[in-house]
Amino acid sequence: MSELRKIREIKNLTQEELAQKSGLSVRTIQRIEAGMRPKGYTLKTLAKNLDVSEKDLWTPEIVVQQETEVEEIPVVKEEDTSENFTLIKIINLSSLPLAWFPVANFIPPLLIMIFAKEKSRITKQIISLQIFLAILSPVIFMIVVLLKLGPPSVMVTMVLLVLANIYIILRNAYEIDKKNSLYYKLNFSFL
């Protein structure tokens, strides 16, 4: 049994819970538990999240004993990964029905995230971006109204805000599909 697995079980964490807590993938945790030696960022992140020293997470004997298990794990995990990114894409696209009402367009993805228990970093970024747009859109709209540029400019502003939001949602969906990442994202998160 690997040191990571021993420590994880002592802390009563599943692989998925440790992955969520540390921001690492379940696949990475499975590989380390199967004998791969954690290095750099991964090693520091695991040590920090488990409150142990970095040298406690690896013993050389494990690599030799568990090499055969490493080959089996990626095949199982790749299926899970595609399902997760499918759900993440659905969460992103769930903002479309309320794109015309930017104050509430973050509610559908938030509800799906909560009920599906999909709390990945990408999902939180999607919702944070929609919350940011829900704050920014009314501010821009009010500025145009207060400038008293006339009803046509107010209407054009409303249409442009909706179209911008739709474009952001669709562009991110395309990027999730092709590269499993977001094209438009914030440097911070509201969640």
Q: What is the pLDDT of residue 59?
A: 55
Q: What is the pLDDT of residue 24?
A: 87
Q: What is the pLDDT of residue 151?
A: 86
- pLDDT-derived band at 58, boundaries 50, 70, 90: low
pLDDT at residue 128 tops 50 = yes
Residues 166-188 have pLDDT tens digits of 999 899 888 888 888 888 888 87
Residues 83-102 have pLDDT tens digits of 478 888 888 888 888 888 87
Q: What is the pLDDT of residue 87?
A: 83
pLDDT at residue 156 tops 50 = yes
DSSP 40-108: HHHHHHHHHHHTS-GGGG--THHHHHTHHHHHHHHHHHHHHHHHHHHHHHHHHHTTGGGTTSTTTTTHH
* Token duo for residue 104: 């509430």
pLDDT at residue 71 tops 50 = no
Global pTM reads 0.53
Q: Which residue has the higher pLDDT, 78 or 39?
A: 39
Looking at the chain, the whole-number percentage of residues with pLDDT higher than 90 is 5
Q: Which residue has the higher pLDDT, 146 or 102?
A: 146
pLDDT at residue 62 tops 50 = no
Q: What is the pLDDT of residue 10?
A: 85
Q: What is the pLDDT of residue 116?
A: 85
Instruction: Identify whether the C-beta of residue 57 lies closer than 8 Å to the C-beta of residue 7.
Output: yes
Q: What is the pLDDT of residue 95?
A: 85
**Ordered structural domains, the chain, with CATH:** 3-65 (1.10.260.40), 83-179 (no CATH)
C-alpha to C-alpha distance for 138 and 121, rounded to whole angstroms: 26
